[in-house]
């Protein structure tokens, strides 16, 4: 799977890079994947799975999926 972060969520990513490729041997809940990476679930406000907005609690991710997550507040 490919994970893209927006806003300050990049701070939690390995190497503080905005993207991460994470191979999955079987489908997994997004909540578990984000917890494994170290992204606080409470800071994720919007999730897009393969270009479609989804609820984080119900998202099951497969190896070929593209996930984009965003925080609720991004300053500028």
pLDDT digits over 40-60, tens only?
999 999 999 999 999 999 999
Predicted local confidence at residue 31, as pLDDT:
97
What is each CA distance from 71 to 8, 13, 23, 63, in whole angstroms? 7, 13, 24, 23
Superfamily of domain 2-70, CATH level 4: Beta-grasp domain (3.10.20.30)
Residues of the chain with pLDDT under 50: none
Average pLDDT, the chain: 93
Closest CA to 7 of 44, 62, 41: 44
Predicted local confidence at residue 76, as pLDDT:
53
Predicted local confidence at residue 75, as pLDDT:
55
What is each CA distance from 26 to 49, 64, 75, in whole angstroms? 17, 11, 36
- Whole-number Å distance between alpha carbons of 39 and 37: 6
């Amino acid at each position: 799977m490919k994970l893209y972060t927006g806003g300050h969520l990049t701070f939690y990513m390995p190497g503080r890079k905005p993207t991460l490729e994470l191979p999955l041997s079987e489908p997994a809940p997004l909540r578990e994947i984000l917890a494994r990476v170290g992204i606080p679930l409470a800071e994720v406000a919007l999730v897009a799975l393969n270009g479609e907005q989804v609820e984080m609690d119900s998202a099951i991710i497969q190896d070929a999926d593209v996930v984009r997550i965003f925080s609720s507040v991004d300053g500028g």
